Amino acid sequence: MDGTRDTGFPDGASVEALGSPLARRAEVHGSLPSTQERARELARAGAGHGTAVLARVQTGGRGRLGRYWASPPGGLWMSLVLRPGLAPGAAHRITPAAAVAGAKALWELGVEARIKWPNDLLVGGRKVCGILAETVAAGGEGLCAVLGIGLNANLDPEQTGSAAATTLRRELGRDVDLLQLLGLLLGCLEVELGRVGGEFRAVLEDWRALECTLGRRVRVRRLGGVLEGTAVDLGPEGALLVRTSSGTVEVFEGEVERLQGEFL
């Protein structure tokens, strides 16, 4: 474990003392290339459900499609090893559940976060949090996934390297206690991930109440090409339903941008 730590950044003992089943074992680093990659290594080595990896700084953080994610001091950069007892075919449910959890946690802080399909949290149209869920080929039965969350907390928007980003510091006008923030987020995640198996329809209803994508004209860039239309709803498994001139298309992956206005 890296001994370097910011005075406001939680250590492993304080994370484990939160008592969350999602962070029974915590590995906290001062600097790490990627919490996601480290959590994947631990998962492949047999790490159990509730193994958390956090870093004060990531030097090679990434989001969806391998895109660079600036991770300076002041943010909450973490990845969780999850063995939720789900069939592998249910892996796609983790992302919307985590997005709902993140949005609810931010609302409890007084930040009116909205979900942009499939995995971003926005405030006032600016990104404050990214979510990345990946399956891992690991020993044991059932699904093993690594859930990465990058939350712009106690930093200025300029430090993110993106003109389309915001931070909790900007939105609240103050810094937040990162350990308390982590505890709040883990609590919301525990509830929402616990509904993935049997109450996923309820998760999607909450997603609809918190989203900023539906009803918009969108352009979706995906592996099979680009399509344009209106985002009209979610499918029963969380896919985005886009109504086009040739019919409604079910989109399971892709990058979404809003048309007729600013890009989201």
> Where in the chain are all domains bearing CATH 3.30.930.10?
12-210
> Where in the chain are all domains bearing CATH 2.30.30.100?
217-258
One-letter identity of residue 234: L
Q: Read off the pLDDT band of 5 (50, 70, 90).
A: very low
Strand order in the sheet with 114-116: 25-32, 51-58, 76-82, 145-151, 126-135, 120-123, 114-116
76-82 vs 51-58, strand pairing mode: antiparallel
pLDDT for the residue 223: 81
pLDDT in tens, 162-189: 888 999 999 999 999 999 999 999 999 9
One-letter identity of residue 72: P
As a whole number, the mean pLDDT across the chain is: 89
- On whether the CB atoms of residues 222 and 254 are closer than 8 A, the answer is yes
Third-level CATH fold of 217-258: SH3 type barrels. (2.30.30)
Domain 12-210, CATH homologous superfamily name and number? Bira Bifunctional Protein; Domain 2 (3.30.930.10)
